[in-house]
Amino acid sequence: MTERPANHLKLALGAMFLQQTFISLGKSLPAVIAPAIIADLRLAPSWIGIYFGITAIAALFSQLGCGSFIVRYGALRMSQVALVLLAVGTAFLTMGSPWILVLSAIVAGGGAAVSTPTSSHLLSRCSPPQYLPLVFSIKQTAVPAGLLIAGILAPQFTEWTGWRTTMLITAAACLVFAVVLQPLRKMFDDDRVPTRTFKFSDFKSTLNAVMATPRLRALSFACLAFNGAQTVITAYFVVYLTTIGYTPVAAGFMFSIAVAIAIPGRILWGWIGSRYVSPRVVMAGLPMRTPLATIGGFLSKGIAFLLTVMPALPSAASAAFPVRPFENTSTSIMWLSVPPLTSLNPPAAIAAASRAAFAAICRW
């Protein structure tokens, strides 16, 4: 990895933090304002699961195949593409037609999914190996930061302007930030390979890169469980609270409390897992809190507050732990949901594809 000035790392980290904040905000928005959408379009609450299921399928294929595009066009350019596609998909959702909802999920989910491997690729090039755990912990706090903003502002804006306007405002914000990133492209996309072409074999090589490594394979399945639970909680949290008496604004505020805990949590667990306790040990203990909180949530409206705290803790950990699957590679710091594999394999294309595969299996 080429050494870069410290200010480059700060600039890259700031840019990728904000990029993932906007991505997180846009991806979670349909869930946060779902009560208003359901009421207006006269849909069953189950549509939320269908919508997010489609986004997950689109994200899976997108992350499996995005490695070649990152190598050819650069991580920053593909970050811009992710923001633009999310904006387009979000705008589609406002049309309300069932088939348009499917198209919205495909475009938004597939586009937004590219943001994780692109930011991993860029930051792994800018950060010295010894700082990667801290850098990726900080970057990953952008996910709960986006959820926090969505929970606080989206329900209120929906009451003031309607859910369609709220969606369009978010889409416009994503487009604006994509433009803001443009001046940084020359600085951070200097590693792109214009001759790189996309091949359908990338999907297979990406999966093989993950599944052929026992420790990587085991971590991918563990992360699948963590992030599957987190996705379900995110998708149905606000709708569930509104069914037990919370107003949409109050439910959104409770949602914000839950994700706010994950912001320091991601850095804390990353720090502990890097320096003091084996990540596997901490990961094994954290999920024990989730069933207790979930049971408490069914007892009463007041006890449902537990749902805002305890499930957030293990989900915060799911993207916080650095591990070293290849002990003989000093710079091979892997992340459960955002593994920068560039240093593991000289060909940048394979590195990007491997990173995309792991993110696909362990996606937020």
pLDDT tens-digit series, residues 72-87: 999 999 999 999 999 9
Q: Which residue has the higher pLDDT, 2 or 35?
A: 35
How would residue 360 be classed by pLDDT, with cut points 50, 70 and 90? very low
Reply yes or no on whether the pLDDT at 311 is more than 80.
Answer: no
- Predicted confidence at residue 3, as pLDDT, reads 52
Q: Of the spans 64-68, 133-137, 258-262, 317-321, which averages the highest pLDDT?
A: 64-68
How would residue 169 be classed by pLDDT, with cut points 50, 70 and 90? very high
User: Over the chain, what is the mean pLDDT?
Assistant: 76
Reply yes or no on whether the pLDDT at 65 is more than 50.
Answer: yes
Reply yes or no on whether the pLDDT at 63 is more than 70.
Answer: yes
Tell me the torsion sign for CA atoms 172, 177, 183, 185: negative
- The structure tokens listed for 330 are 């000093």
- Predicted confidence at residue 324, as pLDDT, reads 38
Binning the chain into helix, strand and coil, the percentages to the nearest 5 are: 80, 0, 20
Reply yes or no on whether the pLDDT at 211 is more than 50.
Answer: yes
Q: Is residue 350 part of a domain?
A: yes
Q: Is residue 312 part of a domain?
A: yes
Reply yes or no on whether the pLDDT at 228 is more than 50.
Answer: yes
Residues 6+ apart with CB under 8 A from 308: 254, 255, 257, 258, 261
Over residues 110-121, mean pLDDT:
89
Of 40-49, 134-143, 213-222, 240-249, give the lowest mean pLDDT range.
213-222
Longest dimension (CA), the chain: 60
How would residue 274 be classed by pLDDT, with cut points 50, 70 and 90? low
Q: Is residue 1 part of a domain?
A: no
Please give the full DSSP string across 37-72, using - where no structure is assigned.
HHHHHT--THHHHHHHHHHHHHHHHHHHH-HHHHHH
Check: CB of residue 119 under 8 Å from CB of residue 138: no
Instruction: Quote the CA–CA distance of 120 and 341 in Å, as a whole number.
Output: 9
- Domain ranges, residue 141: 6-361
Q: Is residue 58 part of a domain?
A: yes
Number of domains the chain contains: 1
Q: What is the CATH number of the domain that holds 155?
A: 1.20.1250.20
- Predicted confidence at residue 181, as pLDDT, reads 94
Instruction: Quote the CA–CA distance of 87 and 273 in Å, as a whole number.
Output: 36
- Predicted confidence at residue 356, as pLDDT, reads 41
Of 185-189, 297-301, 306-310, 330-334, give the lowest mean pLDDT range.
330-334
Place of tokens 């991806």: 27
Instruction: Quote the CA–CA distance of 101 and 144 in Å, as a whole number.
Output: 25
